[in-house]
Amino acid sequence: MSTPNEPLLLQALARKPTPRPPVWLMRQAGRYMAEYQALRAQAGGFLEMATNAAYAAEVTLQPVRRFDVDAAILFSDILLPLQAMGMDLRFDPGRGPVLPRPLRDAASIDGLRAVSPHKHLPYVGEALRLVRAELDRDKALLGFAGAPFTLAAYAVEGGAPGAGMNLRALMYRHTAVFENLMGKLAEVVTSHLRYQVECGAQAVVLFDTWAGQLARDDFMDFVAPWNEQILKSLQGLAPRMVFVRDGGHIMDDVVAWKPDAVALDWRIPIGAAFDRWGDDVAIQGNLDPAVLLSTPEDVNARARRLLDAVGGRPGHVLSLGHGVLKATDPECVAAFVAAAKEAGNGAAGNGAAGNG
């Protein structure tokens, strides 16, 4: 049973019947919003904004105020733990993250420092506390981290991984060195997520953006044990969601880790996903972010079609299959959110309201 003012998102993650599906979007705070751009200019850059608690908190709250989404996800970056471990990190205009001294050998990996989030990432905790103080109690506050393989991809490639050839070479040719790196990263990710829960995050998301490039056997050998270890260490602390982009071929294995929820990219039909996994986990997703480049009317219609495919089954969180694109019109985000709100008026129920 739900409790008064319990955030709708937390009810859905527990697979409770809800009057409508909760809705939020990956990268909902970001470059497509004029207020974000203004604050970034004031801060002096992305990294300056992400590592300043007051700026990060304000950016986190911007989409909640503008679109009335059901969750605020901390404005941060998955690579900040790498910086905390001693890696140089910068964000170049038009290029994105750059790590100018990539990890390519045992010595560089051995040189990574152990991280205490309270000491090395204090702005994360302070931003969460600031957001929680202002956020309405019926809105959920989410924390997140990059999974070890995805962090390793950036750390070894020195930036956006692309095909990840250096990482794969390390993984196949120097497996012990690769395993050492993954162990260090798993430890940091675990402590980072625990810290976020301590500071007010009510659920956490583990993003493994690049692991879906691997064949299933390699995923099971080189990635799965670390992700499963992280999830087990967080069991009972807060609901845990996992997102693996391009992960359709390994989703059975991800569900077998027993997270509370899985987030799907747009390539997986959501009705079939509920048929297969809906009795085991909550499911988030999964409209193609590029659909939001169309018109508000089309966005709303496509979102309603997705809700029809879910059929009002409990445990659904309406979201995109990846992050909001920079060129997105904010009115299209509003139309997407409106589809979830309209579902509570009999358009498409979600458990408690039935199927209309």
Q: Which of 20, 32, 36, 40 is catalytic?
A: 40
Sign of CA dihedral 180, 181, 186, 187: positive
Active site residue 132: no
Q: Which of 27, 194, 302, 313 is catalytic?
A: 27
Active site residue 27: yes
CA–CA dist 169, 153 (Å, integer): 11
Structure tokens at 109: 């990996």
Q: Where are the beta strands (DSSP E) in the chain?
A: 71-73, 90-92, 96-98, 140-146, 203-208, 240-244, 261-263, 282-287, 316-320
Distances (CA, A) of 216 to 20, 41, 211, 222, 254: 35, 43, 10, 10, 11
Per-residue three-class SS string for 229-285? HHHHHHCCCCCEEEEECCCHHHHHHHHHCCCCEEECCCCCCHHHHHHHHCCCCEEEE
Active site residue 252: no
Active site residue 20: no
Q: Which of 31, 90, 132, 276 is catalytic?
A: 31
Q: Which of 77, 208, 260, 265 is catalytic?
A: 77
> Please, are residues 72 and 64 in contact by the beta-carbon 8 Å criterion?
yes
Q: Which of 123, 154, 208, 260 is catalytic?
A: 154
Active site residue 123: no
Helix axes 148-157, 224-234, angle to 10 degrees: 130
CA–CA dist 14, 202 (Å, integer): 12
Which residues are catalytically annotated? 27, 31, 40, 77, 154
